[in-house]
Structures are given as C-alpha cells and as structure tokens.
Homo-oligomer: A and B are copies of this chain.
Amino acid sequence: MGSLFRVVVIGGVAAGTKTASKITRLRPDADVTVLEKGEFLSYAGCGLPYFVSGVVKTQHELMATPVGVVRDSVFFSKVKNVHVLNHTEALAIDRTRKHVRFRRADNGEESELPYDKLMLGTGANPVIPPLPGVELRNVFTLHGVHDAVGVRDMLREHRALDVVIVGGGLIGLEMTEALVETGCRVTVVEMLPQILPMLDWEMAKQVEQHLESHGVRVMTGTRVLGFEGDGAVHHVRTDHGELSADMVILSVGVRPNVSLAVAAGLKLGPTGAIAVNDRMQTSDPDIYAAGDCVENKNLLTGKPCFVPLGSTANKQGRVAAINICGGDDTFPGVLGSTVCKVFDFCVGRTGLTETEARREGIDVETVLAPSPDKAHYMPTAKTLMLKLVIDRGSRKLLGAQAVGPGDGSKRIDVAAMALTASMTVDQLDKVDLCYAPPFSPAMDNLITAADVGRNKLDGHMTGVTPMDVYAKQQRGEDFIFLDVRSPEEYGEVQLPGTINIPLGALRKRFNELDRNKEIITFCKISLRGYEAALILRAAGFDRVRVMDGGLAMWPYPKVTV
C-alpha cells in the first residue's frame, strides 16, 4: 500500500466535504478521511434562519442533497468513497511525522491518522462577548444546528416572546425576520452608529427604516452591558436602559478556528485567520486550508481580509482539492459580495463601500440611483435603490450597494462581474444586458446609475448628498431647496424646508428664484432634479446642485402633508 494517497480533512461542513468529494472524483484511488467534531456533516449553515422561521420544515432538509438524500457518513462512504468520522475531534497535527491525532467522543479513545496531504476546514466560531450573564439559559448564538433547534423549540412552546438580538449584522437581521414572523417582539441592539456595516450609512438607514416599519425596534450606538435573570435570561442591560428579554441571540461576528493551526506552527495572517496562498496552501506545503478558517485577499485593494462565506468556502474547497491532487488551480480573491433578505427588502453589496474606499485614500465619486427594477409600467416593478462608488481617477467602478424591494441580487452580481473585469463606468453603461419589461427597464438600473456617474465625472451634473443637505439645514444655512415634482406629488409628501416649482413650469418661472443663493434641486429620484439643474444652469444660475437619490433616498424624516 506504499502508493496509497492519503488525505485527511479536518472539518466536515462546507469547505471540508467539498474538498473531500472533489478529491475522490479526481483520484478514485485516494484514501480520504474527514474528521468532524460535531454530529452533522455538510449542512447549510446559511439556511438556519429559515429553519427557525419554519420556511424550511426540518433540519434534515439543510443536510440533504437537492433530491432529499441526507449527507451522513453512510452517504459519503457509499457515494463519495469518503470515510467520515463525526463526533471526532482532531487534537493535534504532527507535521514532522505527518500524522493527525484525534479523539472519538463515543468512547473517548485517541488515535492517529497518517496523511500525505492535510486539509483544514475548521471553520469559524461565533464570538461570545464576555458579558455578565452570557451563560444564562435562552441566550443563544446561531451557529450550528443545535442552536437553531433550541431557538425553534422555544418558539414552538411560547408565543409573542420579547427577543433581543445583539448585533445588527447579517445573521442578526435574518434572524430578526424569522422571529417577527413567528410573532416575537424584536429589538436589535447595535454598538455602532448603524446596522449592517457592510453598507454605507445612508443605505443602512433605509434598511433600519424598513425594519421599523415591520415593528422591529432598532437601537444603534447602544452597548450591551450584561444579561440578567434567574436561570433563564429576563433582561438585557444596555447603556441606554434595560430591555425585557425572554430570549437573546448573540450575533456579533465570528472568529476563525485556528487553534490546531497555531499549535502546529502554521502561519496566520494579519486578520488572525490562517494565511494561505492562492492555491489554498498554508505555510506548510502539504497542508491546505479553505473556508471560514482562512484569510482572503480583497481583489480590489489586494489586502488581506476575513470574509467567511459558504459560497467562498465551496469555491476554495474545489481549488484546494485540485491542487492536492497535483493539479493547478488558483483562487484569486474576494469582492465581499454579500446579499440578505430583510423582510421585503433585498440588501446587497459588492466591492468597496464609500467609507471603505475613502479609508483606502481613494478619491471617489458616488451615485445614489433609485428606480423601478422592471419596466415602470409593469405592476410587478419594485423600487431598487442603488449606490455606486467610482474611482474618480480611473473612472472604474469600485463598489455597488443595493437596498429595497426590487431585484438587487441581480444588479449586485452584475456589478461583481464589472469589478472582476475592472470595468470603468464608461464600459459598464454599454454592456448588453438582457431586456424585457417583466425583467428590467430598457436601460437597466445599473446602466442608468453608471450614466449618472459619467454625468458627474464629466461635470454635467454636480451632486450633493442628502447628508450634506441635512447638515446645511442643521447649520441653518440659507439655500433654496427646490422640489421640482408635480403639485400632486408635492401635496402628498415633502422634505422639510423646500419650495415647489414643477419641472414643466421651470423654464417660465425661474425668475422667481434668487440668483444669489445656492440652489439644490431634487425630485422623487432626482432625474427631473437633474433636468431642472440643467435648465437653471443654462439660464445663468451658477450655484446649482442636484441632491443625490432625491426624495426616494432621503434618509431622514419626511413631512407627510
């Protein structure tokens, strides 16, 4: 058996099982063993919120193939020719002897397995903040099937619970929807000034307002100090007061599982995750790693980042398998593409946010473009709010964010492709995207947004952000805030401090405006606002700007008339 090719895989969820399966496909002679500490293999962790809400009926669905076969040890052995030991904890890696020591939970026995190549798919664990009372009953994380079953069981027994979600990130918000749907009263507590730090503030604000419209209380800039209760949690203490809580879900991020790697002397990257090259090799050429335990490279900045995602884990697992089997494949890096469903909103981003791009020292132009996601006359059309971040120097797209009921996931994916291809907005606005009224406007939202970007870069349009307008108002600055919508629209909802001259009347009535004052124009989405600015500029007004995103993307209170 000297020629046997032995691979040991530590971790049997996403990257681990993907790698193991691919290896046996490429090398049927390979002897592949997966060691998994937990009970469950290859489960869809991202589906847990939908299991909690009842959208997914049983946890088995999360562990099954599309035709309903549960991916257990028998499945892996029969179908994939992979030996899986679950309830089996890897204890140490001996890199000199190329052995892994492990312990089986059932009998407590320890033994060793030799390897030619080792693969680490050890994943990540939720961060448990060291707060008083964190050990109380009904304080959950949502990581793994057991947590989800615990939450779901509690929801089945009790109705209308008070739930506090600690952390306004992705998993926290997906859980919020699941809990509200089962009748809970949910408060989201976030330490930062905004939820969803993956978005810029004004985009996150739209999501916050949407959550509030579904009865969720959102407390940003609020720090949790501890949990109180007798046995089970009763209250959450924060620096903004106490909150009743029958249940708490901690969702403050995850940390890569690197203890085995560290003990074996493998290099970590600056993010604290396992450092790998683009072949998914660790600092030991015989040890590969992939998934939530490894550090990624941001494709735009070239810098290391930690972005644990199931989609990335699967892609990296495949690359690792190919290289382990003597092939040559590389994983170039990530864009931080992310999407989630928050009630009726699709919320997504890819590339750099404005905040991230400015932090990199890039001179950026931004676009806020709200518009229907399909031909506007189709009853199925829904509003999609896009933000683009563009490099002023190179005119390349740097990032895109999407929020709203419209189909944002399509535009984020298209934007991710534009980023991968280093496209400028001048290229992006010519791409031949498919068009039919049930699927998109004739000019896709992303193309229209790219055109707004070009207009701004070329000096045809001078924009001002709603945040800057609001700040001017707060400072009491004197400027004309000109709403050019129709009187009917103006009669329904307004922004504070505006005057109304409908666009169609502007050519006749611009003499009503004081030429010495700055004028900021807008409409519902700032397309008419742009036309208005052009009319005023042509009429000799020289201090005219258009408010980005119009009324649709004003992130502050509006006046309902």
Contacts and interface: CB of A to CB of B under 8 A. Distances in A.
A320 to B, nearest CB: 13
Given A377-B61, A432-B350, A437-B50, A538 B28 contact: yes
Interface in A423-438: 423, 426-427, 429-438
B489 A67 contact: yes
A29 B310 CA distance: 56
Contact of A309 (B313, B378, B429, B435): B435
Contact of A420 (B56, B329, B431, B485): B431
A187 to B, nearest CB: 23
Nearest to A508: B78
Contacts of A332: 430
Max chain B Cβ within 10 angstroms of own Cβ: one of A299, A410, A416, A524: A410
A534 interface: yes
Given A47-B377, A50-B378, A312 B81 contact: no
Contacts of A14: 442
A234 to B, nearest CB: 33
A301 interface: no
A26 interface: yes
Interface in A215-270: none
Contacts of A537: 28
B410 A44 contact: no
A382 to B, nearest CB: 12
A331 B430 contact: yes
A356 interface: no
A524 to B, nearest CB: 6
B62 A377 contact: yes
Interface string A512-536: 0000000000011100101100110
Contacts of A409: 410, 434, 436, 439-440
Copies in the complex: 2
Contacts of A152: none
Contact of A507 (B81, B174, B331, B503): B81
Contacts of A143: none
A481 to B, nearest CB: 19
Interface in A453-492: 460, 485-486, 489
Interface stretch (A95-103, A200-208, A340-348): A340-348
A340 to B, nearest CB: 5
Contacts of A210: none
A372 interface: yes
Given A44-B375, A62-B377, A318 B451 contact: yes
A376 B535 CA distance: 52
A535 B341 CA distance: 40
Contacts of A25: 460, 530-531, 534
A67 B437 contact: no
Given A61-B377, A417-B414, A433 B311 contact: yes
A2 interface: no
A409 to B, nearest CB: 4
B299 A432 contact: yes
A62 B378 CA distance: 9
A546 interface: no
B335 A432 contact: yes
Interface string A21-54: 0000110110000000000000010110010000
Contacts of A427: 420
Nearest to A50: B437
Nearest to A524: B67
A370 to B, nearest CB: 10
Interface in A342-382: 346, 348-350, 371-372, 375-379
A264 to B, nearest CB: 28
A78 B509 CA distance: 12
A497 interface: no
Contacts of A340: 436
A447 interface: yes
A332 B67 CA distance: 44
Nearest to A435: B311
A504 B65 CA distance: 13
Contacts of A438: 50, 341
Contacts of A331: 430
A67 B413 CA distance: 28
A184 to B, nearest CB: 20
A371 to B, nearest CB: 7
A338 interface: yes
A174 B439 CA distance: 13
A561 interface: no
Contacts of A524: 67
Contacts of A318: 429, 451
Given A47-B375, A315-B447, A421-B421, 20 more contacts: A14-B442, A25-B530, A25-B534, A50-B377, A67-B486, A78-B505, A79-B504, A79-B531, A299-B432, A310-B442, A313-B442, A315-B430, A331-B430, A337-B433, A339-B436, A349-B434, A410-B410, A413-B413, A413-B434, A420-B427
14 contacts: A28-B534, A28-B537, A28-B538, A47-B377, A62-B377, A66-B376, A341-B439, A348-B434, A407-B410, A409-B440, A413-B433, A414-B414, A417-B431, A420-B431
